[in-house]
Amino acid sequence: MFAKRSLKTKPVCKVTFKVLKKDIGPAQSVKIIGEFNDWDKDAPSMRKLKSGDFSQTIDLAKGKAYQFRYLVDDEKWFNDESADAFLPSPFPGVDNSVIAL
């Protein structure tokens, strides 16, 4: 899930991504991998909360849409069910989540 907060003084939207433990089970790390970080698997991990959920806030340019996926423990990919849309990835049978700002 994610929450969007547009800044009035800048062409930026602060997006807080959150992955719930109930959706992924016990995990050591979750990363957001997408167009906004050039699909870099070495991107920093999201912050793990005491509840076992993960959270990260990213500033993204307004007026754009970005494809992304979550990577759990560097091995399991999954989509954000609350995504604004889903688009096919380059891998057959796999879709990417999309956030539109």
Tokens of 97: 């989540």
Q: What is the pLDDT along the chain (101 residues), one digit of tens a residue?
A: 899 998 888 899 999 999 999 999 999 999 999 999 999 999 999 999 999 999 999 999 999 999 999 999 999 999 999 999 999 998 889 999 999 99
Q: So what's the pLDDT on residue 8?
A: 85
Q: Please state the pTM of the whole predicted model.
A: 0.93
Domains of the chain: 2-100 (2.60.40.10)
